[in-house]
């Protein structure tokens, strides 16, 4: 049923992997390592498009103007909220039609569209996903956002990536901003990662960028978490390649 209704979303037979991080953490290296696994198609940043979809999903699911109408649709007049008694289902209802919106279908349809039009997994892809540096930009919605992804994308797993904040603060655009502000913001992001990992240990793994210096042995621990074999030669080739981006 789900495969028929949301074919793009369910096309990667073994699920999804999402790299959750901040800018200049070395996540493009992680993206390259994941893409060295046969059947993986992990895309780069997309401007956090699923965040905006998740906000819309949350609104349709929880906003009273939608939820009240869904709950009262089809009830006897005596059971309908006074506010809705004379307007629900009528063309002059200010929110006419809101009672017809199925939040679960809305949720899966949006993410199906995202996979089809944005991720566009390659033929033969068995695990899809993307890396993004903007997950933490709405701290109050962070948990809901990741939960939406977790509950929508089949077999979703999250790789949180951190890096020494002193190094990050000196890198690229961060170096042009007040160091204390940058470090505090990224510290808060890492706190969000830790909290989510504690609550969802089975589907989360934290990558420490500095440990890549240990070579293929450290990468093997990431692949083990994903249940993937590790080709030492492929891993070494990616680690040794200088990334220019």
In this predicted structure, the answer to whether residue 242 has a pLDDT above a threshold of 80 is no
CB atoms within 10 A of CB 98: 18
In this predicted structure, the answer to whether residue 149 has a pLDDT above a threshold of 60 is yes
**Domain residue limits, the chain:** 2-37+48-240
In this predicted structure, the answer to whether residue 38 has a pLDDT above a threshold of 50 is yes
Instruction: Give the per-residue pLDDT at 243.
Output: 47
- Percent of the chain exceeding pLDDT 90 equals 92
The residues with which 127 forms a beta bridge, in sequence order, are 40
Query: What's the whole-model pTM score?
Result: 0.95
Residue 241 pLDDT level (bands cut at 50, 70, 90):
confident
In this predicted structure, the answer to whether residue 126 has a pLDDT above a threshold of 60 is yes
Mean pLDDT over residues 126-150, rounded? 98
Mean pLDDT over residues 128-154, rounded? 98
pLDDT tens-place string over residues 168-215: 999 888 889 998 999 999 999 999 999 999 999 999 999 999 999 999
Instruction: From residue 243, give the alpha-carbon distance in Å to each of 28, 186, 236.
Output: 8, 23, 14
How far is the C-alpha of 130 from the C-alpha of 12, rounded, in Å? 13
Residue 76 pLDDT level (bands cut at 50, 70, 90):
very high
Instruction: Give the per-residue pLDDT at 1.
Output: 57
Instruction: Give the per-residue pLDDT at 166.
Output: 92
How far is the C-alpha of 13 from the C-alpha of 3, rounded, in Å? 10
Report residue 208: phi and psi, to 5°. Answer: -100, 115
- Classify strands 156-162 and 40-43 as parallel, antiparallel or unpaired: unpaired
CA-nearest of 142, 135, 144, 164 to 22 is 135
Residue 245 pLDDT level (bands cut at 50, 70, 90):
very low
Question: Topology of 2-37+48-240 in CATH?
Answer: Rossmann fold (3.40.50)
How far is the C-alpha of 1 from the C-alpha of 74, rounded, in Å? 26
Instruction: Give the per-residue pLDDT at 198.
Output: 98
The mean of the pLDDT values for the chain is 95
Mean pLDDT over residues 40-55, rounded? 98
How far is the C-alpha of 189 from the C-alpha of 165, rounded, in Å? 11
Tokens linked to 214? 């240990």
């Amino acid at each position: 049923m789900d495969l028929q209704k949301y074919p793009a979303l369910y096309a990667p037979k073994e699920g999804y992997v999402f790299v959750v991080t901040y800018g200049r953490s070395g996540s493009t290296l992680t993206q390259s390592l994941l893409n060295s696994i046969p059947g993986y198609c992990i895309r780069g940043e997309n401007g956090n498009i699923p965040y905006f979809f998740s906000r819309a999903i949350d609104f349709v699911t929880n906003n009273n103007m939608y939820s009240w109408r869904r709950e009262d649709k089809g009830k006897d007049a005596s059971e309908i909220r006074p506010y809705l008694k004379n307007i629900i289902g009528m063309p002059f209802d200010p929110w006419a039609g809101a009672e017809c919106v199925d939040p679960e279908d809305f949720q899966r349809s949006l993410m199906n569209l995202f996979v089809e039009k944005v991720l566009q997994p390659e033929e033969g892809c068995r695990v899809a996903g993307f890396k993004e540096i903007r997950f933490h930009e709405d701290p109050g919605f962070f948990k809901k956002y990741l939960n939406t992804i977790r509950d929508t994308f089949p077999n979703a797993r999250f790789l949180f990536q951190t890096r020494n904040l002193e190094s990050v603060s000196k890198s690229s655009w961060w170096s042009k901003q007040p160091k204390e502000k940058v470090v505090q913001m990224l510290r808060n992001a890492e706190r969000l990662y830790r909290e989510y990992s504690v609550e969802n240990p089975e589907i989360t793994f934290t990558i420490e960028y500095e440990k890549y210096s240990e070579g293929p042995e450290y990468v093997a621990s990431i692949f083990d978490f994903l249940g993937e074999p590790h080709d030492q030669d492929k891993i070494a080739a990616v680690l040794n390649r200088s990334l220019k981006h």
